[in-house]
Structure 1
């Protein structure tokens, strides 16, 4: 069966002006009151450990999650926080060029897929406001009662893990790779596995390593920054 062709978008700094995790943490802390902002300083120490390669991105994400949101957070409360953050992000934090390309891919009849290393609990809310058809993201573990834990469930959806997640999603949807044409947009060289997998790779707002790879591979480079 022929499926709709795919337009797969990374999120942070591809369609958003900035990476979203730290702004989300700030948003969550503002909800708790200004006195909680000191936790961001502690989170900064955790970032230093990552820079020194004492642990990886997945561990850093879990640490900052636990520091700011707590070891567990009620699912409904987290959803409310994520929804408010998503509304603010879509209102002021998106690139106009990204909005235009999303609408062009929608008009072209493509299925819109957001594939991001960001946590699903807020990426899903952003995607729904933008009318995406599906979301592939980093998942959090949950307790039976619905509380969300500061622990990644599965893999951090980054680098080669993002491609594995996309392939798992297409298999779940019954989409055979040879039956669809795939466009992929991202700002970061860590997404090289997905760029190579796609039919139409589009580096967007690319940093220097991705620009160098694009020149080597002959990929067109887009810039949506305004």
Structure 2
């Protein structure tokens, strides 16, 4: 099947690829300020988690769960999130999204691409951001819930990161009935942890890459986009 007749899919990482800055800490602060301002008093405890992560005693998942427990709570009714997620998404779009990303997504839509965000950030807040950007599907880290519908400060399954992200993309494709050989896939990311996904794609874009990914992209012949100066380059 030639490219023109294939299903076109564009898969974007979110933090520092579509957005200028990582979104997780902003989400935590937004929820703490709007839901339980007293939790901001817990901020001095956060460096403990960062130290344990830096020492490789904790995984990335454990650090995320620790931060969520401190600033949001271990068990929160979903409705308490729902009140604030749209506002958080508006703040992200207003101040933290590359205009070049918006233009590129719009151009790809004109070319018939199906857009997917694949991110280690939580689906809980990513879905509202993705919808406002015009994405069709979301692949993200899931949070556990209990029988009463409370959101827990515990990741359900794997953090959607590195090889686990590619596994989730493949599982999503199987779930929606997409065969790999029927698709033409573009993938965008800023971080070398997404090398498995970029290698899986037909077109790989190292987007606003940090140095390790930029070096890998040059070795692999992947295209490089840099929107950090407001001037995309390949």
| Same fold? TM cut 0.5 | yes
Shift of 1:37: 1.6
User: 1:44 — aligned with what?
Assistant: 47
Question: Take 2:67 and 2:108, find their aligned partners in 1: how far apart are those partners?
Answer: 35
TM-score, with length taken from structure 2:
0.93
- Residue of 130, 134, 138 corresponding to 1:135: 138
In the alignment, the residues of structure 1 paired with residue 32 and residue 195 of structure 2 have an alpha-carbon distance, to the nearest angstrom, of: 34
* Contact 2:36-2:72 at 8 Å conserved across structures: no
Residue from 89, 113, 116 that aligns with 1:86: 89
Residue in structure 1 matched with residue 102 of structure 2 by the alignment: 99
For the Cα contact (< 8 Å) 2:120–2:160, is it kept in 1?
yes
Residue of structure 2 in register with 1:65 after alignment: 68
1:44 Cα deviation from its structure 2 partner: 2.4
Kept in 1, the 8 Å contact 2:11–2:117? The answer is yes
Determine the structure 1 residue equivalent to 2:33: 30
- Aligned partners of 2:39 and 2:72 also within 8 Å: no
User: Aligned match of 1:148 in 135, 151, 157?
Assistant: 151
Q: How many Å separate the matches in 1 of 2:34 and 2:44?
A: 17
Residue 223 of structure 2, aligned match among 199, 220, 225: 220
2:177 alignment partner in structure 1: 174
- Aligned match for 1:162, one of 146, 151, 165: 165
* CA drift at 1:33: 5.6
Q: Conserved in 1, the CA contact under 8 Å of 2:39 and 2:70?
A: no
Deviations 1:155-175 (CA, angstroms, capped at 9, x unpaired):
100000000000000000010
Contact 1:3-1:175 within 8 A present in 2 as well: no
Point out where structure 1 has 5 or more consecutive residues left out of the alignment: none
1:169-193 Cα shifts (integer Å, max 9, x gaps): 0000010000000000000000000
Q: Is the 8 A contact 1:140 1:148 kept in 2?
A: yes
Rounded Cα–Cα distance in structure 2 between residues aligned with 1:41 and 1:32: 19
Runs of 5+ consecutive residues of structure 2 not aligned to the other structure: none
The count of residues paired between Structure 1 and Structure 2 equals 226
Provide the aligned C-alpha RMSD in A: 1.4
Q: 2:126 matched to which residue of 1?
A: 123
Shift of 1:47: 1.2
The answer to whether the 8 A contact 1:115-1:137 is kept is yes
- Equivalences for residues 8-23 of structure 1 within 5 A: 8-23=11-26
Calculate the TM-score normalised by the size of structure 1.
0.96
Moved over 3 A (4+): 32-35
The residue aligned with 2:111 is: 108
User: What is the CA-CA distance between 1:147 and the residue it aligns to?
Assistant: 0.7
In the alignment, the residues of structure 2 paired with residue 127 and residue 143 of structure 1 have an alpha-carbon distance, to the nearest angstrom, of 25
